[in-house]
Structure 1
Amino acid sequence: MVRPCRASVYVFTLCSVIAVAAAQTNGTDVGVEGTTGVRACKCMEYWACVSSGGSPYAYCQYSTKVCCFVDPRARAVGILPRPPKVDNCGRKGVENRRDGVSQAGEWPWHVAVLEKTDDIYVCGAALVDEYWALTAAHCVDDYSDPRPLKLRLGEHDVKTLAEPYPYEELDVNHVVLHPAFDNTSLTHDIALVQVVTPAKRRPNINTVCMPERGITRLMLEDKAARCFITGWGKEREGGGHATVLKEIRVPLWSNNDCEEALRRHFGADFKLSGSSLCAGAAGRDACDGDGGGPLVCERNNIWYEVGVVSFGGGCGRPGMPGVYTRVEDYRDWIHEVILNS
C-alpha cells in the first residue's frame, strides 16, 4: 500500500479553442487570421490577459503564455500588476541562512489547503494563477463539494500573527481532479483548486512558473540543480509537524533508479508511472503533511514547479526517494482547465 503524503488531522492554529498558435514568445504582436480578417494579439500570461479585459485565443508556441486579443477600449480592472511585469512568476524571496527553515515570503507561491471548520490542514499546494492552485488529487478527491475548503496564501509561521506580511484566505468554489486519476495506484495524482476571488500579489504572495518543455530532463542532467520542496509536514518520520514553513533541498532521481529503489519497499511488481518524478536523499524528503506541495527547481533565477508531492515509503530513509507527479506532463491539461474556467 503506497503512503500518500497527506495529514488529515493536523490543525493549523493561530495560537475558446485550446490550440497551439503559431505565435512567437518574444512579447511582440502577432497576426492571427480570423473571420474578421487579420487581428493582432499579444503573448502574455493568462491572468494578465483577462485582467486587462482581453480574450485569450490560444497558447503561444512552446510557452505557458496565451495569445491575447485586447480591446483598445477595455479598462483594466487592476487586480494584479500588468505588463511589463507579466513575467513575475517564480520570483523567490530572500533566502534564510538556516538550513531547512524558510524566511517569511521566501516561497510566495506555497499555499495551505484548509477546512474552514477549525482550520484543519488538508494539504499543501502552489499558486499557479490568480484564481488557481495546483495540488495532488489524493488531497482533495473527498471534496466533491468544495465549499468546506479554503486556501491560505502567504502563511509562514502558523503559531503567530506577528509576521512581516499578513496571510490571505480565499474560499474555494471548484476542485478539478485529473480525469485519469487512480486513487489506488496514485497515477495522475494532480488536481486544480479554484478560488472565488482572485489572489492579490504581495511580497509574500506570488505565482510559481509552469515548467517549460524539457526542463525536467535538464534538471535531471544537472547534478548541481537547485531543487526544493516546502511544507508544514512532519520534520522527520514519527516526529511532529513543522510550525514554520520548512524548505528541503533534494536531488532528483532517474525513473529507472527510482523504480528499482522503490521495489525494495513496495515489492518486485511495483511499476513507477512514466508521469512521475522522484527526488530525495537520506534525511531530505517530503513527509506526512507535505502532500500536494510543490517541488520547484531554479533555472536562470526563475523557479518552476516540476513536481507535486504524491507518495513515498517513509520519510528520508536512505536509498528511498519520494514520488512526485511530473508537472511538465500535465501542462496542456492545466492550461485547458484554466482557460475554460
Structure 2
Amino acid sequence: MRNHLKALRRCTAAGAVALAALSLQPGTAQAADPGPGVVGGVRAAQGEFPWMVRLSMGCGGALYTRQIVLTAAHCVSGSGANTSITATAGVVDLQSSQAVKVKSTQVLQAPGYNGKGKDWALIKLARPLDLPTLKIAGTTAYNQGTFTVAGWGADREGGSQQRFLLKADVPYVDDGTCQGAYGDSLTPGEEICAGFMDTGGVDTCQGDSGGPMFRKDDGGAWIQVGIVSWGNGCARPGYPGVYTEVSTFAPDIASAAASLGG
C-alpha cells in the first residue's frame, strides 16, 4: 500500500498507513484534516519566505503568480469553480492581524491524477496579492544538494498544527536509495526525495502537504524544486520525505496557470 500523504497522516502502532479520500467538491467545504510544521525545524523570520501560503483545508502552498497558488493534488478533489478555500499569506504568524486572507475562485487538479505521482494542483484566488512569487525549476539542474522546506504543519509525528511558520534544511536522496525504502510506491521521474536516511529527525509532517521544497539557484534566488507530497511517518530513519518533482511538470503547470488566467 502506498504510504500516507502529508495532509492525511494516520499512523498505526506498526506504522502502516491508509489513504483517506479528500472530500472537497467544487463549491463546497473541504473536510481535510488540518493536522495534528516541520519536524526538526526552527521558526522562520517575518518576510523570509513571503510567497508561502497556508490553505484552510490544512495544506500549504506557494504563490506561483500573484493570483495562483501551487499546491498538491491530494489537497483538493477535482477541478472546477470553488469558493470554499481561504488562503492566508504575508505572515509567519497565522494569528497575526496583518495576515492577508483571500478566498479561492477555481481549482485545477493535475490532469490524470489518481493518487500516485502527478501530485500538483493550482488554486486561483479572488484577487492578486501584493506579494513576491516563487519561481519553479524548469530543468533537473537544481534537483540535488540541500533543500529548504517550510510549513505550518506538525513539528512531530502525531503532533499539532503550528501557529508559526517553521523551516528546515534536508539533503537530496537519490532515486535508487529512495526506492529501496518505498519500493514501487515511488514514481521516479515524477517524485524527488529528501531527508536524513541514517538519522531521520528532520522532515515535513502532516499539515505540510502542498508546501514548497526549494533552494537557491545559480543567481542566488529561491527556486522551487518540489511539492510536499507523502512519506512514511515523519522524520523516521530510513524513510525520507517524498516530493513532487516540479521540473517534470513545469510545462504543464505553466499551461494550466495560463488557462486559469491568473
Opposite residue 275 of structure 1, the aligned amino acid is: E
Structure of larger gyration radius: 1
1:236 is paired with a residue whose SS is coil
Q: In structure 2, what is the Cα distance between the partners aligned to 1:248 and 1:279?
A: 12
Residues 43-54 of structure 1 mapped to structure 2, 5 A cutoff: none
Opposite residue 172 of structure 1, the aligned amino acid is: S
Moved more, 320-329 or 133-142: 133-142
Q: In structure 2, what is the Cα distance between the partners aligned to 1:150 and 1:160?
A: 15
Q: Is the 8 A contact 1:276 1:325 kept in 2?
A: yes
Shift >6 Å, 4+ stretches: none
**Aligned residue among 73, 77, 84 for 1:141:** 77
CA deviation digits over 1:252-308, x for unaligned, max 9? 111111110223xxxxx5443421000112111110000000001112311111000
Q: What's the RMSD between the two structures over aligned residues?
A: 2.0
User: What TM-score results when the alignment is normalised by the length of structure 1?
Assistant: 0.63
Residues 1-341 of structure 1 mapped to structure 2, 5 A cutoff: 1=1, 2-6=3-7, 8-10=32-34, 100-114=42-56, 121-141=57-77, 145-161=81-97, 166-183=98-115, 186-201=116-131, 206-217=132-143, 220=144, 225-263=145-183, 269-281=184-196, 282-299=200-217, 300-340=219-259, 341=261
- 1:213: Cα distance to partner? 1.9
For structure 1, which runs of at least 5 residues remain unmatched after alignment? 12-97, 115-120, 264-268
Go from structure 1 to structure 2 and tell me whether the alpha carbon gap of 1:196 and 1:258 turns closer, same or farther (over 3 Å shift): same
- 1:105: Cα distance to partner? 1.2
For structure 2, which runs of at least 5 residues remain unmatched after alignment? 9-31
Opposite residue 246 of structure 1, the aligned amino acid is: L
1:4 is paired with a residue whose SS is coil
Q: In structure 1, what is the Cα distance between the partners aligned to 2:33 and 2:251?
A: 34
- In structure 2, the partner of 1:48 is none
Go from structure 1 to structure 2 and tell me whether the alpha carbon gap of 1:4 and 1:144 turns closer, same or farther (over 3 Å shift): farther
Moved more, 323-332 or 142-151: 142-151
User: What TM-score results when the alignment is normalised by the length of structure 2?
Assistant: 0.81
Q: Is the 8 A contact 1:231 1:245 kept in 2?
A: yes
- 1:144: Cα distance to partner? 5.2
2:119 is paired with a residue whose SS is coil
Q: In structure 2, what is the Cα distance between the partners aligned to 1:318 and 1:172?
A: 38
1:3 is paired with a residue whose SS is coil
- 1:113: Cα distance to partner? 1.1
Q: In structure 2, what is the Cα distance between the partners aligned to 1:230 and 1:250?
A: 11
Q: Is the 8 A contact 1:280 1:321 kept in 2?
A: yes
Q: In structure 2, what is the Cα distance between the partners aligned to 1:99 and 1:174?
A: 32
Q: Is the 8 A contact 1:262 1:321 kept in 2?
A: no
Q: Is the 8 A contact 1:172 1:194 kept in 2?
A: yes
Q: In structure 2, what is the Cα distance between the partners aligned to 1:278 and 1:244?
A: 25
Opposite residue 6 of structure 2, the aligned amino acid is: C
Q: Is the 8 A contact 1:312 1:322 kept in 2?
A: yes
1:103 is paired with a residue whose SS is coil
Go from structure 1 to structure 2 and tell me whether the alpha carbon gap of 1:339 and 1:159 turns closer, same or farther (over 3 Å shift): closer
How many residue pairs were aligned? Answer: 228
Opposite residue 250 of structure 2, the aligned amino acid is: R
* Greater relative contact order, per chain length (Cα 8 Å cut-off, separation 6+): 2
Opposite residue 307 of structure 1, the aligned amino acid is: G
Moved more, 273-282 or 127-136: 273-282
Q: Is the 8 A contact 2:146 2:172 kept in 1?
A: no
